[in-house]
Structure 1
Amino acid sequence: MKPNYYVAHPWHGLELGPKAPDELDVFIELTPQDTVKYEIDKASGFIRVDRPQKYSNRSPTLYGFIPRTFSGEASGNHCSEVVGRAGIVGDGDPIDICVLSVNPITHGNMILTVIPIGGLRMIDKGEADDKIVAVLKGDEVFGQIKEISEVPKALINKLHHYFLTYKLDPNSPSTGTVEITEVYDRAEAIKVIQFGIEDYIKKFVTV
Protein backbone atom coordinates (compact mmCIF):
# COMPACT_ATOMS: atom_id res chain seq x y z
CA MET A 1 0.00 0.00 0.00
CA LYS A 2 1.28 3.46 -0.87
CA PRO A 3 1.95 5.44 2.32
CA ASN A 4 0.06 8.66 3.06
CA TYR A 5 2.60 11.37 3.90
CA TYR A 6 -0.03 13.85 5.00
CA VAL A 7 -2.37 13.78 8.00
CA ALA A 8 -5.99 13.63 6.89
CA HIS A 9 -8.38 16.37 7.96
CA PRO A 10 -10.50 14.65 10.67
CA TRP A 11 -13.78 16.03 9.33
CA HIS A 12 -13.26 15.65 5.59
CA GLY A 13 -10.42 13.16 5.23
CA LEU A 14 -11.51 10.31 7.49
CA GLU A 15 -13.83 7.58 6.26
CA LEU A 16 -17.01 6.59 8.10
CA GLY A 17 -16.13 2.92 7.77
CA PRO A 18 -17.57 0.12 5.60
CA LYS A 19 -20.49 -0.64 7.96
CA ALA A 20 -21.76 2.93 8.37
CA PRO A 21 -24.15 4.05 9.75
CA ASP A 22 -24.59 0.91 11.91
CA GLU A 23 -20.92 1.04 12.91
CA LEU A 24 -18.81 4.17 12.56
CA ASP A 25 -15.29 5.50 12.80
CA VAL A 26 -15.51 8.74 14.77
CA PHE A 27 -13.07 11.42 15.88
CA ILE A 28 -12.71 12.24 19.59
CA GLU A 29 -11.90 15.80 20.65
CA LEU A 30 -12.62 15.73 24.38
CA THR A 31 -12.37 13.28 27.29
CA PRO A 32 -13.93 13.28 30.77
CA GLN A 33 -10.51 14.18 32.17
CA ASP A 34 -10.24 17.44 30.23
CA THR A 35 -10.71 20.70 32.10
CA VAL A 36 -10.38 22.62 28.83
CA LYS A 37 -12.89 22.28 25.99
CA TYR A 38 -11.11 21.28 22.79
CA GLU A 39 -12.67 21.56 19.38
CA ILE A 40 -11.58 20.84 15.83
CA ASP A 41 -10.37 23.85 13.89
CA LYS A 42 -12.49 23.55 10.76
CA ALA A 43 -9.98 25.21 8.47
CA SER A 44 -6.82 23.33 9.45
CA GLY A 45 -8.09 20.12 11.05
CA PHE A 46 -5.94 20.64 14.13
CA ILE A 47 -7.33 20.58 17.66
CA ARG A 48 -7.90 24.06 19.05
CA VAL A 49 -8.56 25.18 22.63
CA ASP A 50 -12.15 26.39 22.39
CA ARG A 51 -12.35 27.65 25.96
CA PRO A 52 -11.35 26.70 29.48
CA GLN A 53 -14.14 25.03 31.41
CA LYS A 54 -14.68 27.89 33.86
CA TYR A 55 -16.76 25.97 36.34
CA SER A 56 -17.26 22.39 37.54
CA ASN A 57 -18.66 20.88 34.34
CA ARG A 58 -16.76 18.13 32.55
CA SER A 59 -18.03 15.92 29.78
CA PRO A 60 -19.20 12.63 31.32
CA THR A 61 -18.17 10.67 28.21
CA LEU A 62 -15.73 10.79 25.36
CA TYR A 63 -16.97 13.51 23.00
CA GLY A 64 -16.32 14.24 19.37
CA PHE A 65 -17.97 14.10 15.94
CA ILE A 66 -18.84 11.86 13.04
CA PRO A 67 -16.62 12.55 10.00
CA ARG A 68 -18.26 13.47 6.70
CA THR A 69 -21.51 14.54 8.32
CA PHE A 70 -23.02 18.02 8.44
CA SER A 71 -26.02 19.41 10.28
CA GLY A 72 -27.68 21.32 7.50
CA GLU A 73 -31.04 21.60 5.75
CA ALA A 74 -32.15 17.96 5.96
CA SER A 75 -31.07 17.74 9.61
CA GLY A 76 -32.92 20.92 10.53
CA ASN A 77 -36.05 19.92 8.64
CA HIS A 78 -36.11 16.54 10.34
CA CYS A 79 -35.81 18.12 13.77
CA SER A 80 -38.59 20.61 12.92
CA GLU A 81 -40.88 17.80 11.80
CA VAL A 82 -40.25 15.65 14.88
CA VAL A 83 -40.70 18.40 17.47
CA GLY A 84 -43.53 20.12 15.57
CA ARG A 85 -41.81 23.47 15.42
CA ALA A 86 -41.13 25.36 12.18
CA GLY A 87 -37.91 27.14 11.37
CA ILE A 88 -35.29 24.92 13.01
CA VAL A 89 -32.06 24.80 11.01
CA GLY A 90 -28.94 22.68 11.27
CA ASP A 91 -26.13 24.16 13.35
CA GLY A 92 -23.59 23.96 10.52
CA ASP A 93 -21.25 21.53 12.29
CA PRO A 94 -20.55 17.82 11.93
CA ILE A 95 -22.89 15.58 13.94
CA ASP A 96 -21.68 15.30 17.54
CA ILE A 97 -21.18 11.97 19.29
CA CYS A 98 -20.79 10.82 22.90
CA VAL A 99 -18.98 7.50 23.33
CA LEU A 100 -19.35 5.19 26.33
CA SER A 101 -16.25 3.25 27.37
CA VAL A 102 -15.48 1.48 30.65
CA ASN A 103 -11.73 1.92 30.20
CA PRO A 104 -10.41 5.46 30.64
CA ILE A 105 -9.13 7.03 27.42
CA THR A 106 -7.13 10.00 28.62
CA HIS A 107 -6.55 12.06 25.51
CA GLY A 108 -8.50 13.07 22.44
CA ASN A 109 -7.33 13.59 18.87
CA MET A 110 -7.98 9.95 18.02
CA ILE A 111 -10.23 7.68 15.98
CA LEU A 112 -12.57 5.16 17.61
CA THR A 113 -14.85 2.55 16.08
CA VAL A 114 -18.27 2.83 17.73
CA ILE A 115 -21.82 1.51 17.52
CA PRO A 116 -24.68 4.07 17.82
CA ILE A 117 -27.37 3.20 20.39
CA GLY A 118 -29.47 6.39 20.54
CA GLY A 119 -29.18 10.09 21.06
CA LEU A 120 -30.31 13.34 22.65
CA ARG A 121 -32.34 15.73 20.54
CA MET A 122 -30.79 19.05 21.46
CA ILE A 123 -31.82 22.47 20.12
CA ASP A 124 -29.50 25.41 20.70
CA LYS A 125 -30.79 28.87 19.77
CA GLY A 126 -33.18 27.36 17.22
CA GLU A 127 -30.54 25.10 15.67
CA ALA A 128 -30.55 21.30 15.60
CA ASP A 129 -27.53 20.10 17.59
CA ASP A 130 -28.12 16.37 18.07
CA LYS A 131 -25.86 14.38 20.38
CA ILE A 132 -25.59 10.80 19.17
CA VAL A 133 -24.77 8.31 21.93
CA ALA A 134 -22.63 5.29 21.02
CA VAL A 135 -20.63 2.52 22.66
CA LEU A 136 -17.01 1.73 21.96
CA LYS A 137 -16.90 -1.40 19.81
CA GLY A 138 -15.66 -4.36 21.83
CA ASP A 139 -15.95 -2.59 25.18
CA GLU A 140 -16.30 -5.24 27.92
CA VAL A 141 -19.07 -3.39 29.79
CA PHE A 142 -20.85 -1.10 27.32
CA GLY A 143 -20.13 -3.09 24.15
CA GLN A 144 -23.11 -5.39 24.68
CA ILE A 145 -25.61 -2.52 24.82
CA LYS A 146 -27.84 -2.24 21.76
CA GLU A 147 -30.27 0.50 22.85
CA ILE A 148 -29.90 3.66 24.92
CA SER A 149 -32.68 2.40 27.20
CA GLU A 150 -30.15 -0.16 28.51
CA VAL A 151 -27.75 2.57 29.70
CA PRO A 152 -27.96 3.40 33.42
CA LYS A 153 -30.33 6.33 33.89
CA ALA A 154 -27.78 8.15 36.03
CA LEU A 155 -25.37 8.36 33.09
CA ILE A 156 -28.05 9.73 30.76
CA ASN A 157 -28.92 12.28 33.46
CA LYS A 158 -25.27 13.35 33.57
CA LEU A 159 -25.30 13.90 29.79
CA HIS A 160 -28.52 15.91 30.15
CA HIS A 161 -27.01 18.09 32.85
CA TYR A 162 -23.74 18.63 31.01
CA PHE A 163 -25.29 19.80 27.76
CA LEU A 164 -27.92 21.95 29.46
CA THR A 165 -25.39 23.75 31.64
CA TYR A 166 -21.94 23.68 30.02
CA LYS A 167 -22.43 27.12 28.45
CA LEU A 168 -24.06 28.76 31.47
CA ASP A 169 -22.41 31.49 33.50
CA PRO A 170 -23.57 31.29 37.14
CA ASN A 171 -23.02 35.04 37.43
CA SER A 172 -25.47 35.73 34.63
CA PRO A 173 -29.26 35.84 35.13
CA SER A 174 -29.77 34.13 31.77
CA THR A 175 -31.26 30.64 31.93
CA GLY A 176 -29.63 29.67 28.65
CA THR A 177 -30.95 28.85 25.21
CA VAL A 178 -30.27 25.10 25.10
CA GLU A 179 -33.04 22.52 25.37
CA ILE A 180 -33.17 18.75 25.09
CA THR A 181 -36.59 17.68 23.85
CA GLU A 182 -36.12 13.91 24.05
CA VAL A 183 -33.83 10.94 24.36
CA TYR A 184 -34.29 8.79 21.26
CA ASP A 185 -33.52 5.19 20.32
CA ARG A 186 -31.03 3.59 17.96
CA ALA A 187 -33.39 3.66 14.97
CA GLU A 188 -33.81 7.42 15.27
CA ALA A 189 -30.07 7.88 15.80
CA ILE A 190 -29.43 6.09 12.50
CA LYS A 191 -31.89 8.47 10.80
CA VAL A 192 -30.12 11.52 12.25
CA ILE A 193 -26.75 10.20 11.04
CA GLN A 194 -28.15 9.51 7.58
CA PHE A 195 -29.54 13.04 7.33
CA GLY A 196 -26.11 14.30 8.41
CA ILE A 197 -24.45 12.29 5.64
CA GLU A 198 -27.01 13.60 3.14
CA ASP A 199 -26.34 17.19 4.22
CA TYR A 200 -22.58 16.65 3.98
CA ILE A 201 -22.81 15.35 0.43
CA LYS A 202 -25.00 18.28 -0.56
CA LYS A 203 -22.67 20.81 1.10
CA PHE A 204 -19.22 19.51 0.24
CA VAL A 205 -19.24 16.81 -2.45
CA THR A 206 -19.16 18.01 -6.03
CA VAL A 207 -20.60 15.84 -8.79
Structure 2
Amino acid sequence: MKPNYYVAHPWHGIELGPKAPDEIDVFIELTPQDPVKYEIDKASGFIRVDRPQKYSNRSPTLYGFIPRTYSGEASGKHCSDVVGRPNIEGDGDPIDICVLSASPINHGNTILSVIPIGGLRMIDKGEADDKIIAVLKGDEVFGLMKEIGDVPEAMIKKLQHYFLTYKLDPNSPTSGTVEITEVYGKEEALRVIQFGIEDYIKKFVTV
Protein backbone atom coordinates (compact mmCIF):
# COMPACT_ATOMS: atom_id res chain seq x y z
CA MET A 1 0.00 0.00 0.00
CA LYS A 2 1.33 3.41 -0.93
CA PRO A 3 1.79 5.55 2.19
CA ASN A 4 -0.14 8.82 2.58
CA TYR A 5 2.34 11.58 3.37
CA TYR A 6 -0.31 14.25 3.84
CA VAL A 7 -2.77 14.77 6.67
CA ALA A 8 -6.31 15.44 5.44
CA HIS A 9 -7.86 18.81 6.22
CA PRO A 10 -10.29 18.09 9.11
CA TRP A 11 -13.09 20.18 7.60
CA HIS A 12 -12.87 18.86 4.06
CA GLY A 13 -11.04 15.55 4.35
CA ILE A 14 -12.93 13.69 7.09
CA GLU A 15 -15.92 11.66 5.91
CA LEU A 16 -19.22 12.08 7.74
CA GLY A 17 -19.77 8.33 7.69
CA PRO A 18 -22.29 6.06 5.93
CA LYS A 19 -25.06 6.63 8.49
CA ALA A 20 -25.04 10.44 8.42
CA PRO A 21 -26.79 12.44 9.71
CA ASP A 22 -28.10 9.91 12.28
CA GLU A 23 -24.56 8.91 13.21
CA ILE A 24 -21.58 11.05 12.23
CA ASP A 25 -17.85 11.44 12.63
CA VAL A 26 -16.91 14.81 14.10
CA PHE A 27 -13.70 16.70 14.81
CA ILE A 28 -13.02 17.89 18.37
CA GLU A 29 -11.12 21.14 18.84
CA LEU A 30 -11.67 21.83 22.53
CA THR A 31 -12.11 19.90 25.79
CA PRO A 32 -13.45 21.01 29.17
CA GLN A 33 -9.87 20.92 30.48
CA ASP A 34 -8.55 23.49 28.01
CA PRO A 35 -7.76 26.93 29.51
CA VAL A 36 -7.59 28.45 26.01
CA LYS A 37 -10.03 28.27 23.11
CA TYR A 38 -8.70 26.31 20.16
CA GLU A 39 -10.26 26.29 16.72
CA ILE A 40 -9.40 24.95 13.30
CA ASP A 41 -7.39 27.21 11.02
CA LYS A 42 -9.54 27.12 7.90
CA ALA A 43 -6.66 27.62 5.49
CA SER A 44 -4.21 25.02 6.81
CA GLY A 45 -6.37 22.59 8.78
CA PHE A 46 -4.14 22.87 11.84
CA ILE A 47 -5.40 23.75 15.31
CA ARG A 48 -4.89 27.40 16.19
CA VAL A 49 -5.13 29.16 19.56
CA ASP A 50 -8.12 31.45 19.08
CA ARG A 51 -7.93 33.18 22.45
CA PRO A 52 -7.40 32.43 26.13
CA GLN A 53 -10.63 31.50 27.90
CA LYS A 54 -11.34 34.77 29.67
CA TYR A 55 -12.46 34.86 33.27
CA SER A 56 -13.99 31.58 34.56
CA ASN A 57 -15.52 30.23 31.34
CA ARG A 58 -14.62 26.78 30.06
CA SER A 59 -16.63 24.59 27.72
CA PRO A 60 -18.69 22.09 29.76
CA THR A 61 -18.41 19.44 27.00
CA LEU A 62 -16.16 18.34 24.20
CA TYR A 63 -16.57 20.92 21.44
CA GLY A 64 -15.82 20.89 17.74
CA PHE A 65 -17.48 20.78 14.35
CA ILE A 66 -19.16 18.50 11.83
CA PRO A 67 -16.91 17.96 8.80
CA ARG A 68 -18.25 18.71 5.34
CA THR A 69 -20.97 21.00 6.65
CA TYR A 70 -21.30 24.74 6.15
CA SER A 71 -23.65 27.27 7.69
CA GLY A 72 -24.67 29.13 4.56
CA GLU A 73 -27.75 30.22 2.68
CA ALA A 74 -30.02 27.25 3.45
CA SER A 75 -28.98 27.18 7.10
CA GLY A 76 -29.63 30.89 7.52
CA LYS A 77 -33.00 30.72 5.75
CA HIS A 78 -34.09 27.81 7.92
CA CYS A 79 -33.21 29.77 11.06
CA SER A 80 -35.08 32.81 9.69
CA ASP A 81 -38.17 30.73 8.96
CA VAL A 82 -38.20 29.08 12.39
CA VAL A 83 -37.68 32.21 14.49
CA GLY A 84 -39.77 34.43 12.22
CA ARG A 85 -37.10 37.02 11.49
CA PRO A 86 -35.98 38.06 8.02
CA ASN A 87 -32.45 38.11 6.65
CA ILE A 88 -30.66 35.79 9.06
CA GLU A 89 -27.56 34.40 7.34
CA GLY A 90 -25.38 31.41 8.10
CA ASP A 91 -22.18 32.28 9.92
CA GLY A 92 -19.92 30.83 7.22
CA ASP A 93 -18.42 28.12 9.44
CA PRO A 94 -18.93 24.36 9.70
CA ILE A 95 -21.80 23.35 12.01
CA ASP A 96 -20.63 23.30 15.63
CA ILE A 97 -21.16 20.31 17.91
CA CYS A 98 -21.03 19.62 21.64
CA VAL A 99 -20.36 16.00 22.59
CA LEU A 100 -21.42 14.47 25.89
CA SER A 101 -19.02 11.81 27.12
CA ALA A 102 -18.41 10.15 30.46
CA SER A 103 -15.16 8.75 29.07
CA PRO A 104 -12.19 11.06 29.72
CA ILE A 105 -10.96 12.56 26.45
CA ASN A 106 -8.28 15.02 27.43
CA HIS A 107 -7.11 16.58 24.19
CA GLY A 108 -8.60 17.93 21.01
CA ASN A 109 -7.51 17.29 17.42
CA THR A 110 -9.52 14.08 17.75
CA ILE A 111 -12.16 12.34 15.61
CA LEU A 112 -15.18 10.89 17.41
CA SER A 113 -18.19 8.89 16.24
CA VAL A 114 -21.28 10.49 17.76
CA ILE A 115 -25.08 10.38 17.68
CA PRO A 116 -26.92 13.74 17.54
CA ILE A 117 -29.79 14.09 20.02
CA GLY A 118 -30.66 17.80 19.92
CA GLY A 119 -29.25 21.28 19.78
CA LEU A 120 -29.30 24.95 20.71
CA ARG A 121 -30.63 27.44 18.17
CA MET A 122 -28.11 30.20 18.61
CA ILE A 123 -27.95 33.53 16.79
CA ASP A 124 -24.71 35.50 17.00
CA LYS A 125 -24.69 39.02 15.59
CA GLY A 126 -27.65 38.19 13.36
CA GLU A 127 -26.10 34.97 12.02
CA ALA A 128 -27.24 31.37 12.52
CA ASP A 129 -24.74 29.59 14.75
CA ASP A 130 -26.44 26.36 15.85
CA LYS A 131 -24.80 24.15 18.46
CA ILE A 132 -25.70 20.50 17.86
CA ILE A 133 -25.68 18.32 21.00
CA ALA A 134 -24.57 14.72 20.57
CA VAL A 135 -23.49 11.73 22.64
CA LEU A 136 -20.33 9.71 22.14
CA LYS A 137 -21.23 6.46 20.41
CA GLY A 138 -20.92 3.56 22.83
CA ASP A 139 -20.51 5.75 25.90
CA GLU A 140 -21.74 3.77 28.92
CA VAL A 141 -23.53 6.77 30.47
CA PHE A 142 -24.48 9.32 27.82
CA GLY A 143 -24.69 6.75 25.04
CA LEU A 144 -28.01 5.58 26.48
CA MET A 145 -29.58 8.99 25.82
CA LYS A 146 -31.69 9.11 22.67
CA GLU A 147 -33.28 12.58 22.89
CA ILE A 148 -32.47 15.98 24.32
CA GLY A 149 -35.03 15.38 27.09
CA ASP A 150 -32.82 12.57 28.41
CA VAL A 151 -30.01 15.03 29.22
CA PRO A 152 -30.01 16.45 32.77
CA GLU A 153 -31.38 19.99 32.80
CA ALA A 154 -28.29 21.17 34.67
CA MET A 155 -26.09 20.20 31.71
CA ILE A 156 -28.31 22.05 29.24
CA LYS A 157 -28.17 25.13 31.46
CA LYS A 158 -24.37 24.89 31.62
CA LEU A 159 -24.18 24.81 27.84
CA GLN A 160 -26.57 27.75 27.53
CA HIS A 161 -24.62 29.77 30.08
CA TYR A 162 -21.31 29.03 28.40
CA PHE A 163 -22.41 30.13 24.95
CA LEU A 164 -24.29 33.18 26.24
CA THR A 165 -21.26 34.42 28.18
CA TYR A 166 -18.10 33.10 26.48
CA LYS A 167 -17.68 36.27 24.43
CA LEU A 168 -18.71 38.71 27.12
CA ASP A 169 -16.26 41.47 28.00
CA PRO A 170 -17.11 43.63 31.04
CA ASN A 171 -15.33 46.53 29.36
CA SER A 172 -17.37 46.29 26.16
CA PRO A 173 -21.15 46.80 26.41
CA THR A 174 -21.60 45.55 22.84
CA SER A 175 -19.88 42.17 23.38
CA GLY A 176 -23.05 40.33 24.44
CA THR A 177 -24.64 39.85 21.04
CA VAL A 178 -25.40 36.13 21.38
CA GLU A 179 -28.88 34.74 21.98
CA ILE A 180 -30.30 31.25 22.25
CA THR A 181 -33.87 31.18 21.02
CA GLU A 182 -34.61 27.48 21.48
CA VAL A 183 -33.43 24.13 22.75
CA TYR A 184 -34.57 21.57 20.17
CA GLY A 185 -34.73 17.80 19.86
CA LYS A 186 -33.18 15.15 17.66
CA GLU A 187 -35.47 15.57 14.64
CA GLU A 188 -34.62 19.25 14.32
CA ALA A 189 -30.91 18.57 14.94
CA LEU A 190 -30.85 16.16 12.01
CA ARG A 191 -32.61 18.79 9.90
CA VAL A 192 -30.02 21.45 10.80
CA ILE A 193 -27.19 19.04 9.95
CA GLN A 194 -28.81 18.22 6.61
CA PHE A 195 -29.07 21.91 5.72
CA GLY A 196 -25.40 22.22 6.63
CA ILE A 197 -24.52 19.34 4.32
CA GLU A 198 -26.51 20.92 1.49
CA ASP A 199 -24.81 24.28 2.04
CA TYR A 200 -21.40 22.59 2.00
CA ILE A 201 -22.11 20.84 -1.29
CA LYS A 202 -23.30 24.10 -2.84
CA LYS A 203 -20.29 26.02 -1.53
CA PHE A 204 -17.45 23.57 -2.09
CA VAL A 205 -18.58 20.72 -4.33
CA THR A 206 -21.05 22.02 -6.93
CA VAL A 207 -19.32 23.67 -9.88
- TM superposition score category, shorter chain reference: over 0.9
Aligned to 2:204: 204
CA–CA separation in structure 1 for the residues paired with 2:93 and 2:133: 17
CA–CA separation in structure 2 for the residues paired with 1:37 and 1:15: 25
Residue 54 of structure 1 and its aligned partner are, at CA, apart by 1.7
Residue 14 of structure 1 and its aligned partner are, at CA, apart by 0.6
**1:54-83 deviations in whole A, cap 9, x for unaligned?**
210000000000000000000000000000
**1:89-146 deviations in whole A, cap 9, x for unaligned?**
0000000000000022110001000000000000000000000000000000000100
Residue 3 of structure 1 and its aligned partner are, at CA, apart by 3.5
Aligned to 1:82: 82
Aligned to 2:147: 147
CA–CA separation in structure 2 for the residues paired with 1:2 and 1:93: 33
Aligned to 2:45: 45
The one-letter code matched in structure 1 to 2:180 is I
CA–CA separation in structure 2 for the residues paired with 1:145 and 1:92: 30
Size of the aligned set, in residue pairs, is 207
CA–CA separation in structure 2 for the residues paired with 1:35 and 1:178: 21
Range that drifts further, 162-171 or 91-100: 162-171
What SS does the aligned partner of 2:81 have?
Answer: helix
The one-letter code matched in structure 1 to 2:172 is S
CA–CA separation in structure 2 for the residues paired with 1:54 and 1:116: 29
Aligned to 1:100: 100
CA–CA separation in structure 2 for the residues paired with 1:113 and 1:87: 34
Runs of 5+ unmatched residues, structure 2 = none
Identity %: 86
What SS does the aligned partner of 1:138 have?
Answer: coil
What SS does the aligned partner of 2:11 have?
Answer: coil
**CA contact 2:167–2:175 (8 Å) conserved in 1:** no
The one-letter code matched in structure 1 to 2:137 is K
Aligned to 1:56: 56
CA–CA separation in structure 2 for the residues paired with 1:173 and 1:194: 36
Runs of 5+ unmatched residues, structure 1 = none
CA–CA separation in structure 1 for the residues paired with 2:195 and 2:173: 36
TM-score (norm. length: structure 2): 0.98
Residue 175 of structure 1 and its aligned partner are, at CA, apart by 6.2
Residue 85 of structure 1 and its aligned partner are, at CA, apart by 0.4
After superposition, the CA RMSD in angstroms is 1.0
State whether structure 2 residue 180 is matched by structure 1 residue 172: no
CA–CA separation in structure 2 for the residues paired with 1:43 and 1:172: 30
CA–CA separation in structure 1 for the residues paired with 2:85 and 2:101: 35
CA–CA separation in structure 1 for the residues paired with 2:94 and 2:160: 20
Residue 196 of structure 1 and its aligned partner are, at CA, apart by 0.1
Aligned to 1:113: 113
Aligned to 1:18: 18
CA–CA separation in structure 1 for the residues paired with 2:118 and 2:4: 34
CA–CA separation in structure 2 for the residues paired with 1:36 and 1:57: 10
